[in-house]
Structure 1
Amino acid sequence: MICAVHSDRSGRVVVASDWAAASFDGVTTGPFHDAIPLPAEAAIVPLSGREAEGLDHGGRLRRLGAARFAVAAVLPPGWLRLALPAYAEAGQDQPLAPRAYVAVGADEHGELVAAAASLDGRPGASAPTDLAARVSATLRARAANRELRQLARCARDYACRAAANAFMGRDDCALPVGAPQNERAATFIALRDDRDATPTEPAAFHPSPEEIADVAAAHLEAGGTLVTFGRACEGEPLLAVREIEDAVRRIRARAPHATIHLETNGSLPVALRRLYDAGVDSIAIRLASGRADTYEAIHRPEGYRFTDVRASLGEAAGWKVALSLVVLALPGLTDRPRELDAIVALAGELPPGSALVLRDLAADPRRALALASGDGPLGMRVALERLRADASHLVLAANARPLARV
């Protein structure tokens, strides 16, 4: 039996061995399924003001009792959640902070488990142990570069892996440009949380194309595999097309074979084309739904519509780029039949070898689900099986990992 877990008043996680764990599928709360050992880098987080729930010996859903508070897991990159935590709101008016909450329980040995699946088959890069020293040394050598100073702040103060990579010479390096936003999602939704670069604060400056290119070239020369525009704390990079276009041309001139990646909502097809022409060769377009009404309820776009996103995806499918469709997945929404049909239809427009990325949507799950009503969910496991069958020409993954030319 998978046992329920909760926290006490001190915040200590407690296994309630007399109660079976429960999970929420977006409509109903029931038995805990799809348990995997909690990944090493996962975090257990309290659900403020929510009461823990479990199943009694008769299989009935009950609150665990006074001062037994609900908890959830937040998983590291590479994992996809299959169920949401079960809890009672108890008249709580304050939304949960937007995070990718996952149902959690404990096995017969008291070890924590989560309702999740591994899609990538490999964990994310571990946090560097000598980051502070590397940041200090790099800043001493190149103190005038504002792009580098911003990355140092993101890496040290917010533990952003994509920023830390700039100082480690590995994997992909984020290149913030201080782009504005054109999505106004509800405060309990974070559309740009990819767990390698969690939204914290946007860059409060506009680096020059020269500064951006210098950071990118140094990263690639040190052994990094690619550079990325549009990571989590950025706004929409297509709104900074002039600066990025100039920077991309400079990067391409200094590193002709580098992979230059762009993560975008695809809101401006003309701007996307300009960046492709400048030298971007890897594009990820993210969305919470393939249906216009659901998309606009979740994203709340400003100055564009879902038809623009479709146009960008259609155009990019004809270019010589590594293309990813990033679906922001939420149990109870993504696994609805009509939502799945729409995702499969979009996937069918992508060329073979493109990526279909399932990334957990960071949100207060119940409030996010309330924004878009629809038919009952099939279950995330069933959704995965459908996508593997009907989008078999694509690489199914939990992270956008563009192929890098090394």
Structure 2
Amino acid sequence: MPSKHPNKPPSLVFANAAGEITDYPELSMAGRSGSHFLKPSIEDLIPLPEGSDIFVLPGRLPVGIDPETGEPLLVEENPLDPDAGLQAVAAFMSPAHTAIHWAGFEKPKADLAPLPLFAYTAVGWHDGQFWVSAFRSDPDKRQEMNRFQPEKLARRTEQWLRQYEHNRLIQHLGKCCLTYRCPAAINYFLRQFEAPLPTSPVCNAQCLGCISLQPSGCCPSTQDRINFVPTAKEIAEIAVPHLKAVTGGVASFGQGCEGEPLLQADTIEQAILLIRKQTGQGTINLNSNASLPQAVDRLAHAGLDSLRVSMNSAQDVYHQRYYRPKGFSLDSVRQSIRVMKRHGRFVSLNYFILPGFTDDPAEFAALCKLIAEYQPDFLQLRNLNMDPDWYFEALQFKEGGPPMGIRAWLKQLKQRFPRLRFGYFNPPLR
């Protein structure tokens, strides 16, 4: 059984121009929190989770820690072969894991294109394996890709695509499954855990880190956005069999391959009524920017069980700069939470985690104020999928003090709000 933590600090890892990764024992790995380069503690480090990826970061230079002084050092040329080129390296962790530090790197020039829309966790090498500065934030195994057989998945998906040729939404999910290996779509075709119900080709925000639509010349989006609005019947044809068959099943509106589902509230309302007419089983969830409280009220009346509110910040200025909303504000989001709680329904905050921002003292204070006043039930600890430098620059972020540290941040939240639950996925409620 692998060790939970290493017995000494892992080495710095970097890549040459060809993308070949190597370790450099002369320096220890560094992690970054905001503008601070740090040496992760032994307790911060876990083996690279199965299903994770190692990314090379073009144009970025690695930062390591001098083991003698404990000071960060920028590595400006390949120490093993100066002619081979040099690139920083980061880990993109599998779901259910949350970063404590992001990767230690610097941009040698300011005009580099942003990195693609992934999360970049600090990674090092020791005792024959990679280690990351992170922790497991949810024991749920619903998106562990080693739990399915690719051949079985392909057969099942292709069979259903033939069987449901008339259903555009199932055809769309087939592409998500077979082309993008979307974990949510995979779970639908394997009839397990949580089924996705994308509905909206349009949005009322222009999120900096939108994974389904980016302007030309920016970083590429990671998947194609749905280009039609499904009917209530098409939606129910997915949700009803799934909720009937899966113990603790969840069906969720609001996916990475769409815009804002609340803009399709009429269709979703009809779909919820149709689903609940056929089954009372399972949880109907909505992942949303929570921009339209009146629409949330209608959906709660129709039978929506839970609302997951995506938030980068509990501070108005940073929420505005990230979401770049059209016709709503963070106050709209707060009111949507209040509406759901008034109906006695479940509310999660999908709170994007980025060390140095999330655990900034001013951000922590704002989050605590929101939790105390609006009483969400659950905090989802999902990593921000975005180039950290781009994020800090675009938000014009100003530190409210030294970062608390993600583990200290989480410990204080648990102490202040003992009824608040923490995890990574939408929990089943029925």
Deviations 1:183-204 (A, max 9, x none): 1123xx24789xxxx9511111
Partner of 2:58, secondary structure, is strand
- Native 8 Å contact 1:83 1:331 kept in 2: yes
Instruction: Determine which of 9, 21, 25 is the counterpart of 1:17.
Output: 25
Structure 1 residue 404 displacement after superposition: 3.8
Q: Distance in 2 between matches of 1:17 and 1:30?
A: 17
Q: 1:391 deviation in Å?
A: 1.8
1:97 maps to which residue? 116
Q: Which residue of 1 aligns with 2:404?
A: 378
| Contact map agreement 1:46 1:70 (CA 8 A) in 2 | yes
SS of residue in 2 equivalent to 1:262 = strand
Deviation per residue, 1:221-257 (Å, 9 max, x gap):
3326121000112211111101111111111111123
2:420 to 378, 394, 398: 394
Q: Trace 1:131-210 onto structure 2 (pairs within 5 A).
A: 131-186=153-208, 189-190=209-210, 200-210=223-233
- Going from structure 1 to structure 2, the CA distance change for 1:199 and 1:239 (only over 3 Å counts) comes to farther
Structure 1 pair 388–285 and aligned structure 2 pair: CA distance change class (3 A): same
Does structure 2 conserve the Cα–Cα contact (< 8 Å) formed by 1:100 and 1:363? yes
In the alignment, which residue of structure 1 is the partner of 2:50? 40
Q: 2:365 pairs with 337, 341, 350, which one?
A: 341
Structure 2 vs 1, CA of residues 39 and 192 (structure 1 numbering), >3 Å: closer, same or farther? farther
Aligned to 1:234: 258
Distance 1:60 1:177 in 2: 50
How far does the alpha carbon of each residue in 1:274-304 deviate from its partner, in whole angstroms, 9 at most, with x for none? 1111111111111111111111111111111
Deviation at 1:170, TM superposition (A): 0.4
Compared CA separation, residues 309 and 199, structure 1 to 2 (3 A)? farther
1:61 maps onto 2:72 in alignment? yes
| Corresponding letter in the other structure for 2:74 | R
Does the CA-based 8 Å contact 2:200-2:260 persist in structure 1?
A: no
The equivalences for 1:293-312 within 5 A come to: 293-312=317-336
SS at match of 1:158: coil
- The change in CA–CA distance for 1:13 and 1:81 in structure 2 (over 3 A counts) is same
What amino acid maps onto 1:71 in structure 2? V
**How far did residue 97 of structure 1 move?**
1.2
- 8 Å CA contact 1:2–1:32 kept in 2: the answer is no
d(CA) in 2 for partners of 1:110, 1:203: 43
Q: What is the CA distance between 1:331 and its match in structure 2?
A: 0.9
Which stretch has the larger CA shift, 331-340 or 88-97?
88-97
Matched, 1:116 2:134: yes
RMSD, aligned α-carbons = 1.9
| Residue equivalent to 1:367 | 390
Q: Percent identity?
A: 31
Aligned pair 1:85/2:103, yes or no? yes
Instruction: Provide the residue aligned with 2:380 in structure 1.
Output: 357
Structure 2: tracts of 5 or more residues without a match: 1-8, 79-84, 214-220
- In the TM superposition, what is the alpha-carbon distance from 1:350 to its structure 2 partner? 4.7
Q: Secondary structure at the match of 1:349?
A: helix
- Report the equivalent of 2:3: none
Report the 3-state secondary structure (helix = DSSP H, G, I; strand = E; otherwise coil) of the residue aligned with 2:365. Answer: helix
Aligned AA (1:93): L
Q: Which of 92-101 and 281-290 deviates more?
A: 92-101
Q: CA deviation at 1:321?
A: 1.7
Instruction: Kindly indicate whether the alpha-carbon contact (under 8 Å) linking 2:59 and 2:87 is maintained by their aligned counterparts in 1.
Output: yes
Q: Would the aligned equivalents of 2:143 and 2:184 in 1 still touch at CA under 8 Å?
A: no
Q: Is the CA contact 1:2–1:106 (under 8 Å) kept in the aligned structure 2?
A: yes
Which letter maps to 2:253? F
Instruction: Name the amino acid aligned to 2:143.
Output: A
Q: Which amino acid aligns with 2:116?
A: A
2-side partners of 1:385 and 1:166: how far apart?
Answer: 35
User: How many residues were matched structurally?
Assistant: 396
- Cα-to-partner distance string for 1:81-132 (whole Å, 9 max, x where unaligned): 011111121115211112111111112x131100101121344433321111
Question: What is the Cα deviation at residue 373 of structure 1?
Answer: 2.0
Q: Is the 8 A contact 1:11 1:46 kept in 2?
A: yes
How does the TM-score come out when normalised to structure 1?
0.93
Distance 1:242 1:204 in 2: 17
Tell me if the contact between 2:96 and 2:425 (Cα under 8 Å) persists in the aligned partners.
no
Cα separation, 2, equivalents of 1:379 and 1:191: 27
The equivalent residue for 1:4 is: 12
**Deviations for 1:60-80, whole angstroms, at most 9, x for unmatched residues?**
433332322101011111111
Distance 2:330 2:343 in 1: 21
Q: Is residue 2:62 matched to residue 1:52?
A: yes
Partner SS for 1:136: helix
